[in-house]
Amino acid sequence: MELEIRKIVTICEETFIEGFKEAEKPVRIAAAMAVIKNPFAGKYVEDLQPLVNTYSEKLGDLLPKRAIEALGITGKEVEAFGKGALVGLDGEIEHGSAIIHTLTFGNPFRTICDNAETLLPSAEKRAAAGASLDLAIKHKRDAKTRSHHMTFETRIPDAPRNDEIVISAVVASSGRAHPRIGSLHKELEGVFPS
């Protein structure tokens, strides 16, 4: 199986005012999305390892680099991240999951983001071309840091075609503009005995 990428789309958003108040620093989020061929579209295939072997490591390296480049920062400056798979109508959600839910995808991504320690939050679904996918984002070192729990809506007008998958990597240079709900750490104090 050969790596087949039809296009890569990168989007970047900077939010300066949130909730009618200027942000202390702009909230900057970028996503890089690869539109790839799904060789298993339209049929059931038991062994999905060829998808993993062809796409996971390459996209786990390429896409976060593209997203970070769009923000004009380094991997060290990334504070939060996430991933996603949007599968065309003739594919299974499992096809996208096979690519992104592997260490061969996640480990390069975490390494690029200054040896991040948390699991990458994810979003997966099957839909027609032009559908949106809300990418989940969490802090790269501590999944309980609520200020970095966000979503980032992405969409490519002509993808995924029925026999394609859109694989996404998203990074953020900070958390939300005005976080006020506190850390999950504080809420969990006393809940579990030590």
pLDDT of residue 1: 83
In single-letter form, the type of residue at position 142 comes to D
Residue 103 sits at φ, ψ, to 5 deg, of -70, -25
Distance CA 125, CA 145 (A): 26
List the beta bridge partners of residue 155: 132
Distance CA 54, CA 50 (A): 6
**Domains with residue ranges and CATH for the chain:** 12-148+166-188 (3.30.1330.110)
pLDDT digits (tens, 9 = 90+) for 164-182: 999 999 999 999 999 888 7
The segments of the chain whose pLDDT lies below 70 read: 185-187, 190-194
Its pTM stands at 0.94
Coil, helix or strand at residue 67: helix
Element (H, E) at 158: none
pLDDT at 191: 60
Q: What is the pLDDT of residues 1-18, one digit of tens each?
A: 899 999 999 999 999 999
- The whole-number pLDDT of residue 37 equals 98
**Separation CA 193–CA 77 (nearest Å):** 35
Contact 167, 100 (CB under 8 A): yes
Q: Specify the pLDDT at position 193.
A: 53
